[in-house]
A and B are shown apart, each in its own frame.
Chain A
Amino acid sequence: MDHPLLVSYLRWIVLFPLLGAVVNGVFGAKIQERFGKNGISIVACAAVGLAFIFALRAFFQLTGVAPEERYLLDTLLRWIHIGSLQVDIAFAVDPLSAMMILIVTGIGGLIHLYSIGYMHDDEAYWRFFAYLNLFTAAMLTLVLADNLVLMFVGWEGVGLCSYGLIGFWYKEHANTTAGNKAFIVNRIGDAGFTLGIFIIFWSLFEAGHGTTAVFRDLSQLIHHLEGQLVWGIPAATLAALCLFVGAAGKSAQIPLYVWLPDAMAGPTPVSALIHAATMVTAGVYMMARMHFLFSMSPVALGVVATVGALTALVAATIGLAQFDIKKVLAYSTVSQLGYMVLGVGVGAYGAAVFHLMTHAFFKACLFLGSGSVIHAMGDEQDMRKMGGLREKMPITFWTFLISTIAIAGIPPLAGFFSKDEILWLTFSGGHPLLWLIGFAAAGMTAFYMFRQIFMVFFGENRADEHTKEHLHESPPVMTYPLIVLAVGALFAGFLGVPPALGGSNILEHWLEPVFAGGHGGGHTAHHHVEVIEYVLMAASVGIAAVGIFLAYLIYYRRSVSADTFTAVGGGVPYQAVFNKYYIDELYHATAVRGTLAVSWLCSVFDRNVIDFIVNNVAKVTGVIGWAVGRFDHYIIDGLVNGLADVTFGIGNRLRQIQTGNLSIYLYVIVGAIAVSQFLPRVGADILFPVVIVFLSLVIVVGIALWLSTRRIQWRLMLTKEGVSELR
């Protein structure tokens, strides 16, 4: 790791999608007019395809060298070099980011293809693909960044694209509101992220062994944070928690998850790409990238694990009662992200990343499948109006089913291995309670996913006649990506077969150079098999089976009515779950209302207090000006006139001194000399204040005078007539 392999092609992984975004964003309307929509899709898909090729090249270059040397670095541009802050626009590939860029460009590429079909009838086709490419570029920046600041660029970049794509159909008010919500909630996380960077940077600086924001150097220096305090809190803990706030925003954890369900307002490929497979996993990725920091703080890890487990459970319960096909998947995503965060929290970084990967496959497939369904149903999203789609849409059905089995955790599909690894490491890491929460959520996952399968694909079609006539399987450009993703959902799990099942956990070994030294390595290092692991494994499969069976009874056989459950406790629990625990309402009543109230107060204060003072000071000055004017007229002028009289009088009197008496002349001369001797001894210490006070007075009086005398003329000048006079 000491000497990164310097290469110069990693930049193209980012630049190609960026270029695609610029071309389609700036010239898209013209291209679409001139060459049709194919022109747009060729540019967009080629950009991602080329990025994928370079990502593959990076991957194979990594496999070609010894594990400890697997680190590629490409410095593109000198970026910010101020003082001890030295960060570049530089891209790095290590085993972790190699895996991520393959997911982003690979699955992202498939979703680009799918979008060609899905968005075909949209007028703003070019805008969609420009956003999609820009998103890909930003996501790749986030993943490839070799320092925290550049990662933040990608971090906000994906947020921007997410905002633009959620509100893609911007003529609907609800869509843009959802976009705003996503962006603003994520901003809360972003503030946490930046504060985390500040704390790390300066606490390291104060430790006196140099400071940096570059990941590679951070991993070497981070142990100096030990003993550093910020506000009496260990710096490592505070920094980790701040970064976790960022992760909670992006990866939709409690209490910041509320934006993700609303984000389903965007086109379905967006939900698949951004709000399932890639962007929402950025928080997990960031924490894995900063694992050395999190591992330093058991407190922070405890918070992360608890929040992750609770999110998994809470979102799963909400998912039980939703009827919108995409909302179910959205809450399922939140829940699965909870598992990943739980994995990070128990130090099982490898397992978390493994689940991130398998989830990318099956959740992207589920979303695209739901998109296929929505497409066929004429933009209908309510599952109560679907049903019986199995015969009409066989490819969609089978791929959807495979992915559902995968997410439900049935072996040997992908979700089983990854979810179970997290659960097992939670249990063996000494968190039986968190395991229990994750275990319960697993059962619910199986239930609500199969509820969806039965409601959508089995039984009678409940749509109106018109929709029924138009039911059709989607075109190949949409179904092929589904097939590829389903294959991934089938087999991706085999990358991480645990030793207990006779596997060697290929992925874990692949990621080992990244997580070596952290607690994550420690957890997976012991390969001895315990009996309890098999017991827990069987239990997870068991509870999944129970969930599936229950769904089967209620929604297929209909031998048990759903009302038996909804009526429990007088329907209160069901109402709470159905209404998402009223969290949105709560936030609106507190945070949103509170902010608006403060803002209203500020503006009232500005107008009614500060301006009140200012205006009155002006008025008082005006009055003083008037008074001074009067003073000028009656007193000063009076004085001057009086003085003239007095002078005349004195002159008259003085004539009488001119007596020719020499002794009187002498007295006058001596007196004058005495005064002239005394005057220069008045030192600067007296003169200065006198001069200052005098000058200030002159200025203030001057302004006032000027104001009072010019007032009338101003009026003249500032009115229209005055202006015409001026001309």
Chain B
Amino acid sequence: MESSILTLMIFFPLAGMITVFCLPSQAKDLIRWTAFAFTLPAFFLGIWLYQNFDTTTTALQFVVNVPWIESFNIRYFVGVDGVSISMILLTALLCPICILASWNIERAEKGYFALFLLLDTAMTGVFCAMDFFLFFIFWELMLLPMYFLIGIWGGPRREYAAIKFFLYTMLGSALMLVCMLVFYFQAGAVEGVGYTFDLTQLPAVAQHFQAEPLLFGFSLPQIMWLALFINFAVKIPAFPFHTWLPDAHVEAPTAISVILAGVLLKMGTYGILRVNYPLLPEETFFFAPYCLAALGAWNIVYGAFCALSQCFTEPKDLKKLVAYSSISHMGYVMLGMASFTPQGINGAVLQMFNHGTITAMLFLIVGVIYDRAHHRRIDGFGGLASVMPVYTGVMGLAFFAAMGLPGLSAFISEVLCLLGAWHTHKIPTLLGALTVIITASYLLWTIQQMFLGKPREEYADMHLSEINTRELCMLAPLGVIVVVLGFYPHAVLDLLDVSLQGLNEVVLSASTSSPDAAAVALR
């Protein structure tokens, strides 16, 4: 029973999808409540998982490992360790909230909620899968509902956004598929491993690759690292693979934006930790300064500047601003990961969790005002603090959390990322640390334009109603988490620390075999 918890978490939503399909499409409320009910078990199982997770071991827990397609030795292999636990919990937390946020969906509710539940299954599956093939299947499975959710229920340019999202992701998937097959065939050639997709066995394969330069002076494993990295970089999204994100966010309905920013982006960095780090540790160490640290810092700076530009250039879309701020904040994750210090890597995964909660709040907040005013122009409001004081209070919490204000969760993770990264990458860290100024600028400017000042004439009589109970219900849990993790980050850090330090060890010990490792270690 205990070991099947992950399977239950993955497939409960799928059962929900089938149930929703069986309901008559006129029974809209019933569909909503059913969908909500089928996301709750994962949430409660998540709480149980949190309490019963053994924080003292790097080993996989709650493992199910059974043959699936035996002729290719593909296995249904799921498990959880410190790398994935926080992401599984985040998914389980955000999905019910997103169902609540989807209450206003007005077109083809049945299809929407069914697809959403399928998405839930796929996301949880990605974080649980320990078989590369299974991982790939869930990864692709996620794409399908996401494409339709944006493409059908999105805004005016939904078609463009959905296709852009789809193509970007397909590009990455193709690369990952090839790498996966190379691993599979190479494993078949390695004594004592044999053909397998098992992510826990594949690390033994990497050293059997030929080290000679193959293409442009890169060896085969290096090319594979880059191919995998590009796949994950699309999801993060790292510059220059990021432009699908602002479009997708602007067009997607609120709940889908929450999932996109809250969970999907994390899959990029999670994938790097899950696949690149253990499978190709030497290459990870080799590429980290460029692909993770430098690019991460660039993400931070570039995302922040692009977000700032939303304050004064058309279309002045609040959602676009938040999307760019996501790009900026994911840069901290990359920078922290690249440091190979305990602070950096812990900070990175904590930042993934914190960004998931904070950015979810931000998108929900945007959704609240969009539902009322039917636009999101930053310069289109003014004085909302007088009209919607409670809403403004919640907004203040989320915005200042996004700013990394001490006492709130993101502060801990950002400082850990930067502190850890300073040891190994000083210039990128310097850029990251300086960007807090820009971050403060665009968030404060937005607050000033939207919430302070005098209320606009046009909204004086077109009364914007105060945030309602349903909306508070979806924001309050996130707000509480943001505050609590600011003072007690170990609620999450304890889950991560052992596994992540183990991962660090893997990379660092692999790197000591390279000649200049001694010099690097001294840095």
Contact = CB atoms under 8 A, between A and B. Distances in A.
Interface in A34-83: 77-83
B412 A695 contact: no
A598 B305 contact: yes
Which of A154, A600, A700 has the largest number of chain B CB atoms within 10 A? A600
B57 interface: no
A600 B314 CA distance: 11
Interface string B424-460: 0010011001101110110011001000111000000
B386 A714 contact: no
B105 interface: no
B370 interface: no
Contacts of A191: 433-434, 436-437
A205 B342 CA distance: 13
Contacts of B407: 153, 156-157
A678 interface: no
B164 to A, nearest CB: 7
A202 B426 CA distance: 11
A197 B152 CA distance: 50
Contacts of A199: 422
A85 B419 CA distance: 9
Given A202-B422, A595-B441, A82 B111 contact: no
Nearest to A188: B437
B473 interface: no
A156 B189 contact: no
A68 B159 CA distance: 73
Contact of B415 (A83, A149, A167): A149
Contact of A599 (B162, B167, B246, B306): B306
A79 B170 CA distance: 42
Nearest to B239: A610
A148 B369 CA distance: 39
Nearest to A192: B433
B302 interface: yes
B52 interface: no
B510 interface: no
B422 A614 contact: no
A176 interface: yes
B488 interface: yes
Given A171-B453, A180-B445, A156 B174 contact: no
B35 interface: no
Given A78-B490, A176-B453, A614-B243, A602 B305 contact: yes
Contacts of B167: 618, 621
Interface string A171-206: 111001101100110011011001101110110010
Contacts of B429: 198
B416 A89 contact: no
Contact-residue bracket for chain A: 35 or more
A362 B339 CA distance: 50
Contact of A184 (B341, B437, B493): B437
A727 to B, nearest CB: 6
B426 A610 contact: no
A686 interface: no
A177 B452 CA distance: 10
A82 B488 contact: no
Contacts of B389: 29
Nearest to A600: B309
A406 B464 CA distance: 54
B433 A184 contact: no
A231 interface: yes
B511 to A, nearest CB: 18
A383 to B, nearest CB: 29
A201 B419 CA distance: 8
Interface stretch (B65-73, B175-183, B254-262): B175-183
Contact of B453 (A156, A170, A187): A170
A691 interface: yes
Given A173-B452, A610-B240, 4 more contacts: A199-B422, A610-B242, A695-B178, A703-B174
User: Which 9 residue pairs are nearest across A and B when measured between Cβ atoms?
Assistant: A83-B342, A603-B309, A153-B406, A198-B422, A602-B305, A599-B308, A170-B452, A599-B305, A599-B309
Interface of A: 29, 77-85, 89, 149, 152-157, 160, 163, 167, 170-173, 176-177, 179-180, 183-184, 187-188, 190-191, 194-195, 197-199, 201-202, 205, 230-231, 595-596, 598-603, 606, 610-611, 614, 618, 621, 684, 688, 691-692, 695-696, 699-700, 703, 714-715, 717-718, 723, 726-727
11 contacts: A77-B488, A80-B412, A83-B341, A170-B453, A180-B441, A187-B437, A194-B418, A198-B422, A602-B306, A618-B167, A692-B182
